[in-house]
Amino acid sequence: MKRSEVDKEKLSPGMRQYYDIKEEYKEELLFYRLGDFYELFFEDGEIASRELELTLTSKNAGLEERVPMCGVPFHSVKPYIEKLVNKGYKVAICEQLEDPKNAKGMVKRGVVEVISKGSIVDSDLLNEHDHNYIASVLDFSFTYVLCYADISTGTLNVMNVQHNKEKLLNEILNLKIKEVLLKDNTDVELISTLKGNYGIEVSISDGFLEEGIEKLLNTVEDIRFKEGIKHILYYLIVRELKSIDHIKSVNVINSDDYLEMDVHTIRNLELVETLRLKERMYSLLWLLDKTKTSMGSRKLKEYLIHPLKDKKRIEERFDKITVLNNEFILKDRLRDALYEVYDIERLCGKVACGSLNARDLLQLKNSLKVLPTIKEIVSELKFDYEINTHNELYELLERGIYEEPPVTLKEGYLIKEGYNEELDELKSIRSGGKNFIAEFENKLKESTGIKNLKVGYTRVFGYFIEVSKGQVKEISPDLNWERRQTLANAERFISPELKEKEALILNAEEKIIELEYNLFNEIKEQVKQVLISLKDTAEILSELDALASLAVCAEEYGFVRPTLNENHTIDIKDGFHPVIMKVSSEAFVPNDCCMNEQISTLLITGPNMSGKSTYMRQLAIIVIMAQMGSFVPAKSANLPIIDKIFTRIGASDDLVSGESTFMVEMNEAKNALVNATENSLVLFDELGRGTATYDGMSLAYAILEYVNEHIKCKTLFSTHYHELTALEREIPSIKNIHVSAYEEDGKITFLHKIKNGAVDKSYGIHVAKLAGMPKEVTDRATTILASYEQKKEKNSSNDKVQLSMQFEEPKQEDPIQKFLNGVDPVYMTPIEAINTLYELKKLMSDSKKM
């Protein structure tokens, strides 16, 4: 049964209320609170039962036919919501807005929150290492405005993106944005790419918030940015009912401030996840992340994804790492203190959005407890951070919140004794109730003489005085006891005194729960007043944590402080790939990388598996680490400031978009050639191998020429086209280097050492042997290779100065054959035959001279 087919007037009052609320949230799955369950009806119930693997039942809704229904317990709803949101659904939470006991008629209900992929606040449902961004994209014809927010941490950023869908997608993918808001659905290509290729949720919202956000709008000047802010905040505040009290300002992101890396570069260099398994482990971020807090982990990832171009800011980070490693005792104390700090950013998000519980406040209190220690250490380190220790807030939480509170807020035991006089009095009554019962029972036994009399309590009948049937006659009428219940062998009564005490005790329990809840909300409001200050403190702590992590890595892995130059020189001594050095069971061979102002390109040759790709990656990683403000894996490093890095490393089909290996190669190469500048770094690993040999070689040759003559950026170009090494003689900015290997008795040993000059052998068959290829195959391949090499020697030219790419000359038609094709001897006269013979002899003579 579909909701649209139902006659609303025939619905029962309860279902009519559901119907009206659902009309406002047609796109969302409505979790409708009924007692201890969230219920879903009609199509929502069918979807939820299917996706959550729940039993689909039905409910009488006043119609002839029962309506579909399924439900989940309210106290364990989080996993169900998480599963639905991850599948791309939006969930609207409809709560009871008043106590059913106090309600007159239908209990008032309303949606209190809408949850989608990009607007999750609950930290239990989020990855602690990543931001959870939702983004608005507005198309201004000549530029895109990308406004993205993490409502769980109170972060709001805005930036311009060149009016190029590839650039826009690159930003969205690099930021790992979970949900994208568009003004309309006219850009079918963008919607299809986001949803179909990358699994990013797309929502359509045409609303713009005009009131109540003036302070935020005043933090930016660009009118287009203001529109982006209005667009995303309308969706978050009006549609998803989120509070933004913890967002203090808008961060305007200028992409020119950061080293630019496209999504292919971040992927190829395995900065945040590995290529093969798409996991964090064994990525560069995994190696560098020794943070003690979730906030620090996220900050470190920001450093890695957005390396700086400002030399002053980079040097400031170097200076702090130097201080931390020199003051290693203070560094250890700082990290120990940071270990006690919880995720203050996301706790602030919970406060703002109203999902905070008492345990969250305990986490906040314990975090604040160590702030004086951290402030003292920072002062001793002479770092320029002003840390607010929030002493008043700490005292409030210390006085107010129980050390072991329940998860829910309606069970009591939230507020400590001594915090509120009225609460203490009620607790005294509650705790004194048991003593009163015991004393009252003894008193009655003495006054009545009924020795087996007892005073008890049941939830149905309340407090009572129980007397056996045989002793009921001993009860004096002057006592004014009222009969409450008759049992088989006893009677139960209540006295005026017991009745009065019962009211006090029972009311005390209810009043305690209600009063504690109200006091808790008052404390939460006081926390809300200092949210912005707490956010500032969290920002400082995250920076300290990230820098301390980099300092630990520098010390543990032997990284060095790089020198930054402005003369376009790369001079690295004994550089190494830090992840491989860490995880490899074999000793890593460090290598130099030297490119002065005159050298733009290193042309790398060498066997497969010898380490060419690793050498290229390690240079890029050293550059990135230096510009994120980290020490680098080398004995020494003198580096320029790089503005962009482009890579083409590895060969893999883009199965999602349906593009072949060669098309992916060409797209990535084109991206580099079009966008690179003189200050960029380009890594091309065996470019051109995805097509026919001569096609690939020609493209590689042309690209090398173009890069060195037009762009003049620093380039590492590995190849198996050994003919290209002759370019060193023609283009002065190209230098040949190779990865050495040692061959003896048909066996190869990789030395992994970079040396000057070129090699002319690839050792492919040797690598096949190492891989365990059947001997019959490798033996046959050796025979075929020998045959090809013999032919090559016969055809090779003695002129070694020219580029020795041996292309087959186009076959010219034999003149004798051409002449004979035009002769028809059947119709030829004797004189014509003589003339033809003469011409043929002349042609043969000419061909011998050629």
Summarize pLDDT for 522-553 with one digit per residue, the tens. Answer: 999 999 999 999 999 999 999 999 999 999 99
Mean pLDDT of the chain: 88
Question: pLDDT at residue 75 above 50?
Answer: yes
- Looking at residue 760, its pLDDT comes to 61
Q: Stretch 748-765: mean pLDDT, rounded? A: 76
Question: pLDDT at residue 805 above 60?
Answer: no
Q: Tokens 């599948």 sit at which residue?
A: 87
Spatial separation of the C-alpha atoms in residues 21 and 106, rounded to whole Å = 14
- Looking at residue 5, its pLDDT comes to 84
Spatial separation of the C-alpha atoms in residues 385 and 379, rounded to whole Å = 8
Q: Stretch 468-491: mean pLDDT, rounded? A: 88
Of the spans 22-36, 409-423, 459-473, 799-813, which averages the highest pLDDT?
Answer: 22-36
Q: Three-class SS string for 229-296?
A: HHHHHHHHHHHCCCCCCCCCCCEECCHHHECEECHHHHHHCCCCCCCCCCCCCCCHHHHHCCCCCHHH
Question: pLDDT at residue 687 above 90?
Answer: no
- Is residue 632 within 8 A of residue 559, CB to CB? The reply is yes
What 3-state class would DSSP assign to 136?
strand
- Looking at residue 656, its pLDDT comes to 40
Spatial separation of the C-alpha atoms in residues 430 and 425, rounded to whole Å = 9
Q: Kindly give the pairing relationship between strand 91-96 and strand 109-115.
A: antiparallel
Q: Tens digits of per-residue pLDDT, 255-300?
A: 999 999 988 899 999 999 998 888 999 999 999 999 999 999 999 9
Residue 388's Cβ-side half-sphere holds a number of Cα atoms within 13 Å equal to 14
Neighbours of 449 (CB within 10 A): 10
Residues in the chain: 850
Residue 808's Cβ-side half-sphere holds a number of Cα atoms within 13 Å equal to 7
Residue 306's Cβ-side half-sphere holds a number of Cα atoms within 13 Å equal to 15
Angle between helices 531-557 and 294-305 (to 10 degrees): 70
- Is residue 31 within 8 A of residue 77, CB to CB? The reply is yes
Q: How many H helices and E strands in the chain? A: 29, 27
Spatial separation of the C-alpha atoms in residues 449 and 446, rounded to whole Å = 5
State the amino acid at position 26 in one-letter form. K
- CB neighbours of 810 closer than 8 A, spacing ≥ 6? none
Q: Kindly give the pairing relationship between strand 714-718 and strand 681-685.
A: parallel
- Is residue 275 within 8 A of residue 268, CB to CB? The reply is yes
- Looking at residue 596, its pLDDT comes to 95
Question: pLDDT at residue 57 above 70?
Answer: yes
Rg over CA atoms, the chain: 39
Query: Smallest Cα–Cα separation from 44: which of 112, 90, 98?
Result: 90
Q: Stretch 54-61: mean pLDDT, rounded? A: 92
Instruction: Please tell me the pTM assigned to this model.
Output: 0.84
Query: Smallest Cα–Cα separation from 91: which of 270, 294, 241?
Result: 241
Question: pLDDT at residue 708 above 90?
Answer: yes
Burial 622-655 (b: 16+ CB within 10 A, else e): bbbbbbbbbbbbbeebbbbbbbbbbbbbeeeeee
Question: pLDDT at residue 215 above 60?
Answer: yes
- CB neighbours of 319 closer than 8 A, spacing ≥ 6? none
Q: For the purposes of burial, counting CB atoms within 10 Å of the CB of 121, is it exposed (0-12), middle (13-18) or buried (19 or more)?
A: buried
Residue 380 token pair: 């001793």
Residue 449 token pair: 């003489």
- CB neighbours of 153 closer than 8 A, spacing ≥ 6? 131, 298, 345, 346, 348, 349
- Looking at residue 783, its pLDDT comes to 79
Spatial separation of the C-alpha atoms in residues 455 and 441, rounded to whole Å = 6
Question: pLDDT at residue 849 above 60?
Answer: no
Q: Tens digits of per-residue pLDDT, 78-103?
A: 999 999 999 999 999 999 988 777 77
Question: pLDDT at residue 794 above 70?
Answer: no
Per-residue confidence at 63, pLDDT binned at 50, 70, 90?
confident
E strand or H helix at 572:
strand 570-575
Q: Tens digits of per-residue pLDDT, 598-649?
A: 999 999 998 877 788 999 999 999 999 999 999 999 999 999 999 999 998 8
- Looking at residue 551, its pLDDT comes to 98
Spatial separation of the C-alpha atoms in residues 419 and 395, rounded to whole Å = 11
What are φ and ψ of residue 551, in 5° steps? -65, -45
Spatial separation of the C-alpha atoms in residues 549 and 226, rounded to whole Å = 37
Residue 399 token pair: 């006085």
Neighbours of 367 (CB within 10 A): 23
Q: Stretch 199-221: mean pLDDT, rounded? A: 94
What 3-state class would DSSP assign to 636?
strand
